[in-house]
């Protein structure tokens, strides 16, 4: 059987709190959001910027828990503006049959605070 790539994790609509050009690279994400979306440090993610249409890939760095931090670092900082709303997604490869029943982790934080609701 073959494998396909499917959505694994999604943080839907969070606001960029910082863009740090003078960093090695990556996206810093509040640890609580990472856990809720089942993301780990170093995981490859795709960033979809709602405000300017940019789509790019980078990797995750753990940010302070409950800080609401969403910081694009290094070259990625040029792709966003502080205040932009982004969607953060990761994908996983799996067997086609397994993918039919797989349920991704999708979270919808408060866009103003980047904190989990409820």
Active-site residues: which are they?
Answer: 26, 59
Going by the DSSP 8-state scheme, the letter that residue 115 receives in this structure is B
Q: Please, what's the largest Cα pairwise distance for the chain?
A: 45
* 79 dihedral zone (left: phi>0; alpha: psi -120 to 50; beta): alpha
Phi then psi for residue 101, to 5 deg, are -115, -5
Question: What's the Cα-to-Cα distance from 37 to each of 1, 44, 51, 80, 114, rounded to whole Å?
Answer: 28, 13, 22, 22, 13
């Amino acid at each position: 059987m073959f494998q396909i790539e499917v959505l694994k994790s999604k943080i839907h609509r969070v606001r960029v709190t910082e863009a740090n050009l003078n960093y090695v690279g990556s996206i810093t994400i509040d640890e609580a959001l990472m856990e809720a979306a089942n993301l780990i440090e170093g995981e490859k993610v795709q960033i979809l910027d709602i405000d300017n249409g940019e789509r790019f890939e980078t990797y995750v760095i753990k940010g302070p828990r409950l800080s609401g931090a969403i910081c694009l670092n290094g070259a990625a900082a040029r792709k966003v503006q502080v205040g932009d709303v982004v969607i953060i997604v990761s994908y996983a490869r799996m067997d086609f049959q397994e993918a039919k029943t797989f349920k991704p982790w999708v979270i919808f934080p408060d866009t103003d605070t980047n904190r989990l609701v409820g």
